[in-house]
Structures are given as C-alpha cells and as structure tokens.
A and B are shown apart, each in its own frame.
Chain A
Amino acid sequence: MGCSEDHCITCSDAAVPMRVRRLDAASGLAQCVGDDGEASEVDLALVSAGEGDTVLVHAGVALAIGRPDGAVSDLAGPDAPRR
C-alpha cells in the first residue's frame, strides 16, 4: 500500500530519480517528472538544480543531483565489470 513496485514512500532508503521540468524560484518548488511520466511537485531547497537536471527525490524533496557523468562512472575504474 502506498508503494509502487520500485520504491516505497515510507522507506528512508528508497528514492526515485526525476527530471526537473519547471522551477518556481520564488517558492523553491518545481514540477518534476518521473520514469513513469507522472509529474509531481518537488521541493528543491536542498540542491542547486535547474530545469533539465535529474534529481533524486524522496518524500517530496530533492536530496541530490545526478552527476552528468555518473551513470558511467559508477561502473568504471578498476572494479568495473567486463563484458
């Protein structure tokens, strides 16, 4: 209940990546869109994110910004898996 298959709103350790679509600078709230295409209002007070950025959202608050090079960097380096 209250949870999609991929994340649980009650768990401190679950959060979802969303893209910032429109930011209202006055309120610090932004319209963000998730993987499923669903839009929701997100508080961006804790990150320096702009429109187009991918942010990690938990309980209506963006906690971190996805680094542009991040998707590849985590699986790179000496520990990287080899195809």
Chain B
Amino acid sequence: MRFVDEFRDAELGRALAGEILAAVEPGRHYKLMEVCGGHTHSIYKYGVDDLLPANVELVHGPGCPVCVIPMGRVDDGIAIAHEPGVIFTCFGDMLRVPGSAGTLLEAKAAGADIRMVYSPLDALRIARANPDREVVFFAIGFETTAPSTALTLKRAKAEGVRNFSCVCNHVTIVPPLRALLESPDLRLDGFIGPGHVCTVVGGRPFGFIPADYGRPLVIAGFEPLDLLHAIHMILRQLAEGRCEVENQYKRVVPWEGNLRALEVMAEVFALRPHFEWRGLGFISQSALRLSDAYADFDAEQRFAVPGVRVADPKACQCGEVLKGVIKPWECKVFGTACTPEHAIGTCMVSPEGACAAYYNYGRFARERVLT
C-alpha cells in the first residue's frame, strides 16, 4: 500500500543503518528516547534496534495511554460500570488493565454490561440505540484520540443525546516530557517525536526541548525506515552541533498541526490542574476534563465515583520502565509473574507497552554485536 510499502524496503534500511554507523562518534554513548508506544511497538516488531550500533541505545518513553492510567481511575470506571442500567464502553486494551480489585473484563464476567468499542462514535451509536440506558464512554489517549472524543461529544450535544456521558482520562504529551527532562534519573541525548500526536498539535509545542534543555527532537513516522531515518537525523544534529525540532514525517505531519482538531478540543475540554500518571506521579496541567459547556456529559459528575488514589503493586516496576530508567527485562516480574495473559503492570497489557512489545517479539537478547 502507498505510504507503507516504500518504508519497509530492506535495501534502503541497510543503507540507512550504514549511514547511522558512519554518523556516530566511537566511544560516545547515545541515549535516544522514543516518546510514543507506537514507536516502541514498531522498533521491536521490525527489529530496528538490531540495526543500530551498540552505542546507540533506545529508551522507551511514557507515550502509551493504557500504560499511564493509574489504578484508581480503573477503579472509578469499574464502579460506574456496576451502576444499575449502565452500558460501559471502552477501547479493547482498557478491559485488561488491572485496578485494585480486578479488571473491567472481570467486572464484565461478574455481570456488568461492558462493551468494547473501536471509536467513541460507536459508543454514541449504542446510546442512540438504547435510550432507556445510560451509556458511558471511558475516554483515554493523548492528543491523537482526544479529537475523536471531542467530535463525538459535539455530535451528542447537537443531537440532544442525553443518555451519553464520558469519563475523561485524556492526557497531553508535553508535561510528562518536561517532567522527564527535569528528572535527575535520566540523561537523554535526543528524542524521537510522536508522529501522530504531531498530526494534531504540530511541531511547535516541542520547541522547548531544544530551547530549554538543549536536546534535538525529530518527529518520526512509524515504519521501520521512518525510525531509522529519524535516528539518523538526530545523530546528524548531534554531530553537527545543531539542536532543533525537525520533521521526518512530513508526508503526514504539517508543522502547524490540525487547527480544526485543536479548535474542537479547546471547545470541549479544559485542562485539569493536575493528574496522576502511573509511575510518574502527579503532573501539573497534564490532562483534560470536559469544559463547563460540556459538563452535562461528564460521567464523573453524573455518577458517584470513589476517586481514590491507589498505590501500584509493590512488585511492579512500570514507573521505572515508563521513565526509561530500566529496561522491561530488568523488572523483577517480567515474563514470570507478569505476562500479557496475566499482567500485573500496565506496560504488559497494551501491545504498545514496552514490556508487551519485548515479550511478544521475543527480544530478550541483551548483548548486541556492533552492526
């Protein structure tokens, strides 16, 4: 398919790997963070890291929305799902994320009417078809998913659908990146920017990374050649002493983003003063709630939710994995007590999660040979 096949060409991949090798300074260790879970998934699916020199290390970032949902929010969802007359809808992976007393899937088995949807529009269709039931959509995701929730709520309002509401867990990518850059645990040399978030927000919001922290960021696509190309662009910036936001993914990402999406989001959402991220703690202004104009659709106002903060299980080291401080296989329960079938931590649930990506593609090799 166009826009896909060209970016999986093995010969070009080998050529790019050669150029990456030529761009690195021997003896220097490069630590690059791929911000988003989609990149993590592609890296392990295609073995992109196997094509890199041993001194170029990829560190996984916090950009998997399933992985960063704290247990307390799952508990809130389950509490609403058990309310009489409620049809609770969410994306598939959310069903398996553990709360303090089980998952949404287990709540479904216990009798709650929980349905998987592919889009918030599907949840709205269920609401139209069941006017005597309360239909709740559990919204998660970064700026790529938020416009979809916003458009759905606009439709619900325009159509006067009164039995539809939303638990808003949408998060924004810039505040956790700033928190990571402020963290003393981690020293990074550059960032692979989240390509699809950038289709909405554009490149400008990432300008603070070179300006305030002196690190380059290259917005990248999701095919293997996109990733190799972006890594090469970062290494070239470092070699040439440049430090800027560059766009490798120009075929999709306009520099200014999608202004219509930003307008819809500004209408439907407002910033929360703070929000808890799994493993990262509370981060100021890092998440969205429904704006006052859409308060009628806010499930947190419509239903009583526990709203209790729950500590992560002690054995789970998702926090360190999400911050890139440890690799998935360094977690004490990776692949033993914690597997995709029986996940303890969120990073093992979604295919975008670093642990699940490692586990599913069998990438356990810890020593690599210089390419």
Contact = CB atoms under 8 A, between A and B. Distances in A.
Interface residues of B, number: 75
A64 B352 contact: no
A21 B219 CA distance: 29
B46 to A, nearest CB: 11
Nearest to B37: A11
A40 B179 CA distance: 38
Contacts of A72: 6
Contact of B350 (A8, A40, A67): A8
Given A1-B96, A35-B4, A81-B229, A12 B351 contact: no
Interface string B247-272: 01111111000101100100000000
A2 B93 contact: yes
Interface in A25-75: 35, 40-41, 43, 45-47, 54, 56, 58-61, 63-64, 66-67, 69-75
Given A3-B93, A71-B251, A58 B3 contact: no
B367 interface: no
B132 to A, nearest CB: 25
B216 interface: no
Given A15-B199, A60-B118, A81-B225, A9 B248 contact: no
A3 B225 contact: no
A29 to B, nearest CB: 8
Contacts of B229: 74-75, 79, 81
Given A10-B92, A14-B41, A14-B222, A46 B261 contact: yes
Given A8-B350, A17-B1, A63 B140 contact: no
A61 B148 CA distance: 6
Contact of B148 (A13, A58, A74, A82): A58
Interface string B83-104: 0000000011111100000000
B4 A79 contact: no
A11 B93 CA distance: 9
B250 A73 contact: yes
Contacts of B39: 13
A17 B4 CA distance: 9
Contacts of B66: 10-11
B261 to A, nearest CB: 5
Nearest to B13: A81
Nearest to A80: B229
Interface residues of A, number: 42
Interface stretch (B190-198, B275-283, B293-301, B310-318): B190-198
Contacts of B45: 5
A48 to B, nearest CB: 9
A66 B200 CA distance: 14
Contacts of A47: 258, 260
Nearest to A82: B15
A40 B351 CA distance: 22
23 contacts: A1-B95, A2-B95, A2-B118, A10-B65, A10-B66, A10-B92, A10-B141, A12-B196, A13-B197, A17-B1, A35-B1, A40-B118, A58-B196, A59-B144, A60-B118, A63-B144, A64-B253, A67-B251, A71-B6, A72-B6, A79-B232, A81-B228, A81-B232
What 10 A-B pairs come out closest when comparing CB atoms? A2-B92, A70-B251, A60-B119, A12-B142, A13-B36, A13-B38, A59-B148, A12-B144, A11-B352, A12-B141
Interface of B: 1-4, 6-7, 11-12, 15-16, 19, 35-39, 41, 45, 63-66, 91-96, 116, 118-122, 140-149, 151, 173, 194-197, 199-200, 221-222, 225-226, 228-229, 232-233, 236, 248-254, 258, 260-261, 264, 350-352
Given A9-B91, A61-B151, A72-B6, 13 more contacts: A7-B38, A9-B119, A11-B350, A13-B37, A46-B147, A46-B258, A59-B118, A60-B119, A69-B251, A75-B12, A79-B236, A81-B225, A82-B19
Interface of A: 1-3, 5, 7-15, 17, 35, 40-41, 43, 45-47, 54, 56, 58-61, 63-64, 66-67, 69-75, 79, 81-83
